[in-house]
Chain A
Amino acid sequence: MAHALEISELRKSFGGLPAINGVSLAVAEGERRLLLGPNGAGKTTLFNLITGELRPDGGAIRVFGRDVARGRPDRCAHLGVGRTYQIITLFPRSTLAQNVVLALLGVSPRRWDPLTALSAHPSLWERARAVLDRVGLAAGADKPVMETAYGEQRRLEIAMALAQAPRLLLLDEPFAGLSREERRDMQAVLGAIPREVTMLMIEHDMDVALSFAERITVLHYGQVIVEGTRGEIVANPRVREIYLGE
């Protein structure tokens, strides 16, 4: 089976402190993989390395067979990698629809067009609305982001990633800070993402995360401690030691 993501012997240090210390993992196409690990395990760093926001010190990263270890974030997006951020990174003064349009433009050749008004592209705005509808935000499409609730901003993060029709989706704690009802909404949104989209998710909420993922990789101090199915992970003594402090 072809791999959506292949990482081998990846290393990254910050000022002599290894954040990622020889990580290897492979995610099959269409797989839902959960990345677990305590704070500082290197999960977000791993995402930043995959998308090219950080340069690895060593090792290889392949996305759909293409080497991206020396790549740029914009090229990575064009390979079909979408991501959401743990710390919400939106355009607060723009409307929800404008945020999604920026995401749509990012993977469209139209982004280089300096000669026509953005408002004169109705198809873009229609597509933006359709994506917002998928995450249940169509009603507030013309509201500025800063006037929306936190849970809606989390869903907008997902909408911007989905707008780009990614083949590999990196979700960095999509449930962080959400209420019980909002979690259910988010679960429904993620559950509706087509099967062929490969997803790699960082999440601490065990209940939603474990119901989401088929396989789980546990990171600790920049190293893969264990990888396996849900049952294997829960039964693993190292995981219990790290995660539950037993």
Chain B
Amino acid sequence: MNHKTLVISLLISAVMLSISGTAMSDDDYERGGFLNRWFGDSKPGVAPVENPYYLEECGSCHFAYQPGLLPARSWSKLMAGLDDHFGENAELPAEDAKILEDYLVGNSADKSNHKRSKKIMKRMPSTDTPLRITETRYFIKKHDELSRNMVQGNPQVESISRCDSCHKQAAKGSFEEDEIEIPGFGRWEDD
């Protein structure tokens, strides 16, 4: 083919590829179309927890929520009220609480370059200081197709706070749609 045809076909290919990147589902956006992965600097999902002390302390009663799921101001507020931690007493000696707070605040959503952390922050008004990940706008939007019998009425799930009940790779910071398996319902099929 001649020079002109080559340039035009290369241009068309580049346009098609970038369109296909943005036309993908919302979920794939968090993973990133391949152009984003090649040229973007955002990492997928949420940064996994690698702090063993945090895992031990904050994962002893519930899923060890990644710091990248809430902004620093939320974590600080939460750590200041451990004696009434959603109705439970989770008190710690001050020096231990400080270690955990430093970890949370240092790796919070507003400091992270992971895709979901960025999305969480983008949809959160700066005047909001949510204590519950499940009450963030991003979370609510993402879970708005669930029915009660899949979660609250499901004896194998019971609460929407139990991420790892359905998100099988949650502990790795991955919440991709194709990793979801709702106990008693099976894999998530998006219509």
Q: Do A and B bind each other?
A: no
Query: Which positions in A face B, CB cutoff 8 Å?
Result: none
